[in-house]
Structure 1
Amino acid sequence: MTWHDLIREARDACVPKLSQKALGLKVGVSQALIAKIENNQVQGSEHLAAIIKELGLDPADFPEEAFKSPRGGSAKVAPPAVPVPEFARDPAYWAAAAGLIGDVPLYAAAEGGEGSLIIERDPIGSVKRPPLLQGVKNGYAIYHTGGSMIPEFEPGDTLFINPRLPVLRDTSCVFYGADDEEPKASVKRYLSHTDEEWTVRQFSPDRTFTMAREEWPLRHRIVSKNFR
């Protein structure tokens, strides 16, 4: 997947539907340029930062050269990516599925401190792949135990995660901590971010707060669930 694909998928996922022309009007460019970007016909664009902001994407997911115009000029440079902890680089840990079909691995989560979850390093089993993970490599599931997201997610629900899907505003995610000794996770509703912090929401009790990106560098999008 290229950065051009991230733009196209994020626009297609907008509700209500956002056309190429409408996106262009919002950021001050033509529909033709949006089409060229989505079809991988440009190597970079000085308008990319505005497009990313409008779609709620993370600039850190885009290469630096993508922010440069074809003439060699540059727009806003993407901030450096937050270092990913070593355990997050292990495909076995984040449930790299064997292929694009069949069951997905299921990981257990136990209550941790301050509303966080401790994720087991090895799967406890597998569950049937839901429609939203069909054809998705590295999809996985978590047996949820936390109570901070009731009523959206309750203890005992199975959460299905697509780590390859762009994270949009007002979507629920699993945020992963950077502690190699005790890998931790936190299920929250993503609202916005800066270079230093995520702004998130939980429902029980209902509150909005920030999480440091240095402490929680990785996030994966939850796409569906099975009720307990």
Structure 2
Amino acid sequence: MDVVRKLILERLEELGLTMSEASLKIGKNHAYLQQFLKRGYPLELPEKSRLPLAELIGVPEEQLRGPSSKLPKREYVKVNPTGRESLVADPSRSLKLPQNQQPGVDVLAGAQLVGDRDLPVFGTAQGGSGALIVSNDAVDWVVRPDPLLRVKDGYGMIVTGDSMDPVHKHGSIALVNPHLPFRQGDTCIFRSHGEHGDNLAIIKELRRYTDDVWYVRQYNPPKDFTLKRSEWQVCHVTVGNFFAR
């Protein structure tokens, strides 16, 4: 993300305007600013768009003239007294998954890590029957990514195992929005409490569901199976993931 795009996003937030609303106010289609700010197209704003946008958000026109300088890279920071380093590595690293990456679950580029370092990340360990044992307390706090920027109770969870490779690889951090309604085809985290008080989770693709059963799929090895909703009471939708290394 460069300084022009960052300035526009900050001003839109301050004014309470969405990208769609602002696009329409400057005489463009509703997706115009979404494409410019998030997809980088066009590379710089043409004059016909730059002038009305500058007037709309209340900044000098020359501040929206580009292409502009990129923001400085983030560096590792210490996040607690034990010296554990943040799970967010150099955000200049961008990872592309194979073309069979499931639509809707993205590996975030560093530029999308734009919020405060206040997103809790929970650790996991391999449990029985493919389940993950999830730490009761966050093991790290990382930069809040764009998809969870204003999401209350959003969290990250370290993936252990490769059953959902390539969507969620071993060691990646799954980003979770607990308020999104789940739909067929979503990659979800199903959560349960074990017999001994363990907090358990399993990451799978939701195929369909009934009042009693989740029908789910894993990718590696390919397998469809069911989870009892009485045992796996919580279904949270993942909105992306990123790698700490």
1:172 aligns with 2:187: yes
Aligned length: 129
CA contact (8 A) 1:101 1:135 kept: no
1:95-106 alignment runs, 5 A limit: 102-106=117-121
> Which amino acid counterpart does residue 221 of structure 1 have in structure 2?
V
Matched position secondary structure for 1:165: coil
Please report the TM-score for the alignment, with normalisation by the length of structure 2. Answer: 0.51
Runs of at least 5 residues in structure 2 that lack an aligned partner in the other structure: 1-114
> Which amino acid counterpart does residue 232 of structure 2 have in structure 1?
W
Deviation for aligned residue 1:179: 2.4
The residue number in structure 2 matching 1:201 is 217
> Which amino acid counterpart does residue 186 of structure 2 have in structure 1?
T
Deviation for aligned residue 1:177: 1.3
Matched position secondary structure for 2:238: strand
The residue number in structure 1 matching 2:237 is 221
> Which amino acid counterpart does residue 154 of structure 2 have in structure 1?
G
Matched position secondary structure for 2:138: coil
Q: Can you list the C-alpha shifts for 1:204-226, whole angstroms capped at 9, x where unaligned?
A: 11011111101101111100100
Runs of at least 5 residues in structure 1 that lack an aligned partner in the other structure: 1-99
1:187 aligns with 2:203: yes
> Which amino acid counterpart does residue 151 of structure 2 have in structure 1?
V
1:1-228 alignment runs, 5 A limit: 102-179=117-194, 181-227=197-243, 228=245
Q: Can you list the C-alpha shifts for 1:99-124, whole angstroms capped at 9, x where unaligned?
A: x9552011101101011100000111
The residue number in structure 1 matching 2:11 is none
Same amino acid, percent of matched pairs: 36
Matched position secondary structure for 2:137: coil
Distance 1:183 1:193 in 2: 22
CA contact (8 A) 1:175 1:186 kept: yes
Distance 1:195 1:102 in 2: 38
Please report the TM-score for the alignment, with normalisation by the length of structure 1. Answer: 0.54
Distance 1:102 1:204 in 2: 33
Question: Rg larger in 1 or in 2?
Answer: 2
Distance 2:118 2:205 in 1: 26
> Which amino acid counterpart does residue 169 of structure 1 have in structure 2?
Q
> Which amino acid counterpart does residue 226 of structure 1 have in structure 2?
F
Deviation for aligned residue 1:133: 0.4
